[in-house]
Structure 1
Amino acid sequence: MSRCIAVAYSGGRDSTALLHAAARQAQALNQEQGAGLEVVALHVHHGLSPNADDWLDHCLAQCAAWAEGGLPLRFRATRLTGAPSPAQSVEAWAREQRYAALSTMAHEVGATLLLLAHHRRDQAETLLLQALRGAGVAGLAGMPAQQWREDDLCWARPWLDQPREAVQAYVQQHALSHIEDDSNRDTRFARNRLRLDVWPGLLQAFPQAEASLAQAATWAQHAAALQDEVAQEDLDALADGLPGLCLPALFKLSELRARNALRAWLAAQTGQVAPASLLLRLAHELVGCQPATWSCAGGLLRRYRGRLTWQPSASRIVSESLGSVELDLSQPGIYPLADWAGAWQVEPSLSAGVSQEALRALVMRSRSGGEQFQCARNSCLRSLKKAYQEAAVPAWQRKGPLLFAGDELVYAPGLGLDARWLAKPGETALSLTWKPDSMLVS
């Protein structure tokens, strides 16, 4: 059974050298150890250059020739569609789309390792560009040598410590043909301006610039890792079992530690690095007491009664007029309901939960008014509206369907289980939670 290694292959000098070297190494390991390795070249057709079709033909022909020569190699390509938004640069759009396409193709061929041909000069350029943009430590850290991303794919740059001249020497030694991207001479792009207009003079004045800047990126990586470690310790100390981030506790930290913890919390919530401009704004505005909202990463940050929460924007609005639905939720699992844009999550419970038998015949419907809710076993029935007010549940956490057994309320979003339905000692208990689509883990 073969094991697959993917290589990002544009047909340029660097990726051609890396693909050839990876295929030769795989061939040697297969012959010596029976490793069963296969290398797959992944090519992304951006459609931005009139020469893109010719580049695709070149890459296909080169891989076919190498495969005929005995290298364990095959070729796969995809064409991008769409175009940058008015507010997005061509560079940023192409990079974002290319990485998404590479991830998709790597999964399709069964690879868990994707090799990229960045070398030491690329790392030095990245640090300079980030510094000129006013980036923080994470930006100055440049590109990691290897990184497991959320797509369960290891993105690796095996030549990140190698000078550009070493790659060029490999190309010459093996007489490798490669394409020259005409856009590399276009100084409208920031990296090209740096390479063509700045880098020659920088090397003349400071011959060690490439190695020194790449080393500085390594130190920045260490600093970024330390920042993350401190932030995690602070967030663990701030955790109190309630949703969101406790702002009074956050503000007891020093200003820099509070900002660092907030940065890490936002990244964990949104899956994105928060812009420095947003962090600076929040540092000044979060100290207030009144309810407030901020746009963030395609969702909303909300301050309410001293807590900060983030909620992604709803992918669609659920009609309040949806009819009732009969359900049997007596078995653990996920029960998706597409029309309601969410799912019921049922799990075994070792503490307070609802009895398994009570979940066999339920009715789900929208809130209509007049519902009664009991918050605890020894408390009185309250109107659902009053229960929400007493529990300080904000309006956005009240959205979702109600669950009934007969005429009695069993579950309300934001409050959870009605105490009348808590399992008795000795009964099999299950936990019950309504999860909007935006909160479901795929």
Structure 2
Amino acid sequence: MKVSNELAADYLVLRAVASQATTVHCGESVGIAFSGGLDSTVLLHTAARVLGAHRCVGLHVNHGLNSCADAWRNHCIDIASQLDIVFDCRSVKITRMPQQSIEALARDARYTALRQMCEAHCIHTLWLGHHADDQAETVLLQLLRGSGLPGLAAMPLHRLLHKKLACVRPLLSVFRTSLEAYARQNALRWIDDKSNADIRYTRNVVRKYIIPTLAIYFPGYRDALARTARHAAAAQRLLQDLTIGDLSACMLVSQTDTIVKRCYELVPIGQVLSRRSLIKLSYERAINVLRLWMRQSGLATASAARVNEMLRQLRNTSNNRALRITYNKHYLCLYRNQIWWESRDNGKPIEAIMPLRMELKWSGQSVWYLPIWRGSIIFVLSNADDEQGVQCSVLRSAPLIVRSRLGGERMRLHFGGPLRTLKNLFQEAEMPTWRRHTPLLFIGDKLLWVPTLGIDPNVAGRGKVRIEWRPDILTT
């Protein structure tokens, strides 16, 4: 009976790996994540049988977290050499960070190292040794953590790890007992990591105490949990399709005329959304839109409470109100129905540290760098009759003075037009209040130019020097 069980295990493992080998382009090499443990050792050995050793590359990551790490690396080198398989290894340094588990940090570092090794070997397919017991443990852990559909979907058979690198788990339908039988039959040697029995790690608690009880009273638990993962994955795909459509409907069609572009000369992080469209959605669909939008904008994942608070504030304000919500190193901004992300400036607000004034005696300079305002005033030669141009004689007639707003400043935007307050002009230009702390350029005591508003032609005269504002690239 023992022999027949091991022959059956050999068949199950070979069939699982062979089914995934058909998805690899003929002649292409496959990277196998090889830690030296049972799972990866069986996978490496089977891959060599199915693909041929010349198409396999063993990839080992040395985390340096265990005193045996170097011995494990040497073991892996030896196994790969016996199988005549190309071997590569990368050492990573794990820097402990507050509120992040060492397991998560190690996992991120491991995937980064594996991706780099795949790139170095021109590999487009990476195989991992996760099996059916790992999948069951993952689903249980996600249930206990109260995870949503993405968590319950657990580990997919296939996923795109990075650009053209596909991550595949050929053994995901195979039980660990079958892997053990396969290893015995083929006289394989593997590493037993003692940390797998350390109950300080939650996965080991599930493995040691919960799984054995389930196996007694619910012997089919692994298949049931695998079905749960597949159902969750299918539901998540449907939800993702719906959310992609919702996000597309919320995006402003014309990105060339957004407040962000017109007023700041800055490119927003990601797309600009319409508040009206967002709040028309149900609460749950709007939450999913915000999450997908954040991911597509390259922002870190937010907690459920944080995203709920963002949506609450967006719903409870009005289209005409200005809103700015702090999130990590970014701001979620709302102004006149437009929602966008922008980076936060480091340090105190500009208006809190702004000097009263800076002075320049202009004699033809093309750039006036204003570090406190994080940008520069640019003097550009233009046509002699440029409506936004300033006469050189005007620029030389008195010292140029830059200062912050004090309140009550007025200017004319047209020849002979009425003096109007900057507050009114900013409102017409649809500039949010937190972006109105711009440097004001005076010639003597006369306001000459304001970024985004332009010059006062009554002061400038029609000349050939155009004034522009260039924000510092490093702060945008």
TM over 0.5, yes or no?
Answer: yes
- Partner amino acid for 1:7? I
| C-alpha displacement of 1:164 | 2.2
Output aligned runs, 1:185-334, within 5 Å.
185-240=197-252, 241=254, 242=258, 244-270=272-298, 272-289=300-317, 290-296=321-327, 298-313=329-344
| C-alpha displacement of 1:62 | 1.2
Query: Which structure has the larger Rg?
Result: 2
8 A contact 2:214–2:221 mirrored in 1: yes
Residue 253 and residue 180 in structure 1: after superposition, are their counterparts in 2 closer, same or farther (change >3 A)? same
8 A contact 1:121–1:214 mirrored in 2: no
Structure 2: 5+ residue stretches without partners? 1-25, 259-270, 368-373, 376-385, 387-401, 406-410, 440-447, 456-469
Question: Match of 2:167, SS?
Answer: strand
Partner of 1:42: 59
Question: Match of 2:191, SS?
Answer: coil
Instruction: Give the aligned length.
Output: 371
Q: In 1, distance between residues paired with 2:165 and 2:454? A: 40
Q: In 2, distance between residues paired with 1:133 and 1:4? A: 38
Residue 78 and residue 150 in structure 1: after superposition, are their counterparts in 2 closer, same or farther (change >3 A)? closer
Question: Match of 1:261, SS?
Answer: helix
Aligned CA RMSD, in angstroms, stands at 4.3
Q: In 1, distance between residues paired with 2:247 and 2:197? A: 47
Question: Match of 2:56, SS?
Answer: strand
* Cα deviation digits, residues 212-232 of structure 1 (max 9, x gap): 101100110111111111111
Partner of 1:345: none
Question: Match of 2:315, SS?
Answer: coil
Partner of 1:390: 428
Work out whether 1:12 is the aligned partner of 2:37: yes
8 A contact 1:124–1:210 mirrored in 2: yes
* Cα deviation digits, residues 326-364 of structure 1 (max 9, x gap): 89xxxxxxxxxxxx99xxxxxxxxxxxxxxxx9xxxxxx
Residue 107 and residue 253 in structure 1: after superposition, are their counterparts in 2 closer, same or farther (change >3 A)? same
Output aligned runs, 1:93-112, within 5 Å.
93-112=105-124
* Cα deviation digits, residues 106-132 of structure 1 (max 9, x gap): 112221111111111111111111111
8 A contact 2:39–2:129 mirrored in 1: yes
Q: In 2, distance between residues paired with 1:153 and 1:313? A: 33
Partner of 1:344: none
Question: Match of 1:63, SS?
Answer: helix
Question: Match of 1:106, SS?
Answer: helix
Structure 1: 5+ residue stretches without partners? 29-36, 68-72, 328-339, 342-357, 359-366, 402-408, 419-432
Partner of 1:116: 128
8 A contact 1:267–1:274 mirrored in 2: no
8 A contact 1:7–1:42 mirrored in 2: yes
Q: In 1, distance between residues paired with 2:241 and 2:454? A: 37
* Cα deviation digits, residues 180-216 of structure 1 (max 9, x gap): 1111010000101100111100111100101110110
| C-alpha displacement of 1:284 | 2.6
Out of 30, 47, 50, the residue aligned to residue 25 of structure 1 is 50
Partner of 1:32: none
Residue 151 and residue 398 in structure 1: after superposition, are their counterparts in 2 closer, same or farther (change >3 A)? farther
Q: In 2, distance between residues paired with 1:251 and 1:161? A: 43
Work out whether 1:61 is the aligned partner of 2:73: no
Q: In 2, distance between residues paired with 1:98 and 1:115? A: 14
Residue 26 and residue 397 in structure 1: after superposition, are their counterparts in 2 closer, same or farther (change >3 A)? farther
Q: In 1, distance between residues paired with 2:127 and 2:304? A: 30
8 A contact 1:400–1:434 mirrored in 2: no
Residue 436 and residue 133 in structure 1: after superposition, are their counterparts in 2 closer, same or farther (change >3 A)? farther
- Partner amino acid for 2:72? W
| C-alpha displacement of 1:398 | 8.6
Q: In 1, distance between residues paired with 2:473 and 2:292? A: 24
Q: In 2, distance between residues paired with 1:15 and 1:397? A: 55
Partner of 1:88: 100
Question: Match of 1:256, SS?
Answer: helix
Output aligned runs, 1:416-431, within 5 Å.
none
Partner of 1:129: 141
Q: In 1, distance between residues paired with 2:189 and 2:149? A: 38
Q: In 2, distance between residues paired with 1:19 and 1:398? A: 62
Quick one: percent identity of the two aligned structures?
A: 34
Residue 26 and residue 206 in structure 1: after superposition, are their counterparts in 2 closer, same or farther (change >3 A)? same
- Partner amino acid for 2:60? H
Question: Match of 1:7, SS?
Answer: strand
Residue 54 and residue 388 in structure 1: after superposition, are their counterparts in 2 closer, same or farther (change >3 A)? farther
Normalising by structure 1, what TM-score?
Answer: 0.70
Residue 254 and residue 185 in structure 1: after superposition, are their counterparts in 2 closer, same or farther (change >3 A)? same
8 A contact 1:235–1:261 mirrored in 2: yes
